[in-house]
Structure 1
Amino acid sequence: MKILITGQHGQVSLALQQRLQDLGELIVLGRDQLDLADVDQIRQQVRAQRPDLIINAAAHTAVDQAESEADVAFAINAIAPGVLAEEAEALGIPLIHYSTDYVFDGNKPAPYTEADTPNPLGVYGQSKLAGEQAIAAVGGEYLILRTSWVYSNHGKNFLLTMQRLLQEKPHLRIVADQIGAPTWAGTIANSTRALIDRWQAGKAGEWGVYHLTAQGETSWFGFAAAIAEQLRAGGTACAELEAIPSSAYPTPAKRPLNSRLDCSRLQQQWQVSQPQWQDALRECLARQH
């Protein structure tokens, strides 16, 4: 099997490259080979490679930056996925695409299901929602997997930032009123692999939009506390943590207070389930050594 993966150095892409390497030929296209803001280049690359599956793991994920560069965010997060969907449909192959909890406004008191109406608060969420809509408009065989709070041992993410700051500073103030599920990139890759295996075995569920996050929930403060606990267990002195409300830490982009996603539909349709976030964090940290 020939799998085209966009986004060479992103957290999810790196995890996919590791997890899918035995499935066949992986064609991984980074920014140098594929500028996702260039529609013609996207079409040329897909037509030249003629893959059996496209996985779009690339995105403009700088949430605050997106507020001031909406054109770039929409080119990469909205237009490019639609073009990839068109090319996948033309080849008669599936497209797997990753989306985000930021398509919701976070005002719902319970976890969001796929049936809930999106209402993004900022440009990043708006551009990701537009990408979902562009793929759905093309139709065909696609999986849009919405995830949240992605971290790994690579790139820029909350885990690595916290590990550094906890050791550098005596005191850290962390937002405690945003609730969600920290999701390890390895979990996303494992679940993607399971979905591909089921599709290959002729046991595919319904195509469409699904929620895919770790199980359980916490706040950013709770996530930071769990990271600190693991560092202390290894004998590292850590900063003292103080819980603060979002209002005490203003950012250019507004974040949803409730980022919890109900992932039961993925289990029902595809028999794919996720680990508890604490277990996935432990597995991720075990791979740092």
Structure 2
Amino acid sequence: MYRVLITGQSGQIGQSITDRIQHQGWDVLFTDIDTLDIANAKQVEAVFKTFKPDVVINAAGYTDVDRAEHDAVAAESVNAYGPYLLAIQCHSIGALLIHFSTEYIFNGRSHCRYVETDTPSPLNVYGRTKLQGEQYIKAYLSHYIIIRTSWVFSEYAQNFVTTMLYLNRSKAPICIVNDQFGCPTYAGDLANLVVDIAKDNQAETGRYQLGDYNFCSDGGDRDRDRDRDSGVSWFDFACAIFEELDKYQPGEQGRNLTAVTSEEYASIATRPKNGILNCHKISPIFRPSDWRRKLRHVIEITMA
């Protein structure tokens, strides 16, 4: 029986994977911090010894970017030391490790989309610890695939979409940064991708090379009419959310929305201005969805 270990089940990527992997006919072990703390060496070793996975999908992560600035030890524990422990155990039994990383490993000063081989230079603790996790995996394991993604949203957990819907109900002013650009990515697309990678690994068809991949959602036809390197800003993303919401609650959705600069917003952590990823490497194998269509899907579920 093909065995798949999934960490971080309760997060939005983890829950999306759960929805899509249960009918594959595999022996799947779903874990979260209550059942497997990936930063606990004894727990990780015990799970690998008893379950002996063929594939490990690491969806666990410390993702609170601002909080990480004051809680660097916890962020490093989950984002760096945890992947190190998983890499060590995967190496010992020959398992494939599929790991999620982020555009925050880059400083955002480039005027082009980031490719997999660009030099990382993180601006904050979150980005630094995610880069450390990548480096540990590459140092101790050769059988891995790292998926760098950005601006993940879904119908699950807390994310930018659910936050905007909550803030809109409060009628309070909503200030959103308009000079940071990226690519919103639907967690369900990431889940479908890792299931496809696991299938490829089982069948040994070799469609996916080992190493790094960038993966973020496509903007669809509307994005093809504009500069592909421009992406969308957080403000653009918020406007799209309220545009979809207006179909269910006609009125002045997002009327309290105001565009501000990064300096005016003054968040705790410094964020990259350009977080746009070039996905040309993976696109011939697996193409992402139009994020606006997936946003429509998420709003529809939320408003049902």
Both proteins in one fold, TM over 0.5: yes
1:267 aligns with 2:277: no
- Which stretches in structure 2 are left out of the alignment for 5+ residues? 220-230
Aligned residue for 2:226?
none
Aligned residue for 2:298?
284
Aligned residue for 2:73?
71
Aligned residue for 1:30?
32
Displacement of 1:151 = 1.2
Displacement of 1:44 = 1.6
1:221 alignment partner AA: F
Aligned residue for 1:251?
267
Cα distance between partner residues in 2 of 1:81 and 1:272? 25
Runs of 4+ in 1 over 6 A off after TM superposition: none
Of 138-147 and 218-227, the range deviating more from structure 2: 138-147
Q: After superposition, give the CA deviation of every residue in 1:144-189 in whole Å (9 maximum; x if it has no partner).
A: 0011111111211110010111232154221111100111111111
1:104 alignment partner AA: F
Q: Would you say the 8 A contact 1:132–1:144 is kept in 2?
A: yes
Alignment of 1:134-283 (within 5 A): 134-169=136-171, 171-204=173-206, 205-216=208-219, 217-237=231-251, 238-240=253-255, 241-268=257-284, 271-283=285-297
SS of alignment partner, residue 22 of structure 1: coil
Q: Would you say the 8 A contact 2:245–2:299 is kept in 1?
A: no
Cα distance between partner residues in 2 of 1:142 and 1:219? 32
Aligned residue for 2:18?
17
1:213 alignment partner AA: C
Cα distance between partner residues in 1 of 2:49 and 2:55? 12
2:272 alignment partner AA: P
Q: After superposition, give the CA deviation of every residue in 1:3-42 in whole Å (9 maximum; x if it has no partner).
A: 1111121010000011111121221111111122312221
TM-score by length of 1: 0.95
Cα distance between partner residues in 2 of 1:239 and 1:258? 25
Percent identity over paired residues: 38
Q: After superposition, give the CA deviation of every residue in 1:42-67 in whole Å (9 maximum; x if it has no partner).
A: 11222121112111000011111111
Displacement of 1:201 = 2.9
Cα distance between partner residues in 2 of 1:48 and 1:69? 33
Cα distance between partner residues in 1 of 2:297 and 2:287? 16
| Among 107, 129, 132, the residue aligned to 1:130 | 132
Q: Would you say the 8 A contact 2:7–2:58 is kept in 1?
A: yes
- Which stretches in structure 1 are left out of the alignment for 5+ residues? none
SS of alignment partner, residue 213 of structure 2: strand
Cα distance between partner residues in 2 of 1:16 and 1:137? 27
Of 36-45 and 47-56, the range deviating more from structure 2: 36-45
Q: Would you say the 8 A contact 1:5–1:26 is kept in 2?
A: yes
Alignment of 1:1-16 (within 5 A): 1-16=2-17
Q: Would you say the 8 A contact 1:4–1:51 is kept in 2?
A: yes
SS of alignment partner, residue 3 of structure 1: strand
Displacement of 1:244 = 1.0
2:85 alignment partner AA: V
Q: After superposition, give the CA deviation of every residue in 1:228-262 in whole Å (9 maximum; x if it has no partner).
A: 00111112442322211111111111011101000
Displacement of 1:98 = 0.3
Q: Would you say the 8 A contact 2:239–2:254 is kept in 1?
A: no
SS of alignment partner, residue 165 of structure 1: helix
Cα distance between partner residues in 2 of 1:3 and 1:236? 45
Displacement of 1:284 = 2.6
SS of alignment partner, residue 144 of structure 1: strand
Cα distance between partner residues in 2 of 1:37 and 1:89? 17
Structure 1 residues 239, 63: CA separation in 2 closer, same or farther (over 3 Å shift)? same
Of 7-16 and 36-45, the range deviating more from structure 2: 36-45
2:237 alignment partner AA: F
Displacement of 1:199 = 2.6
Displacement of 1:278 = 1.1
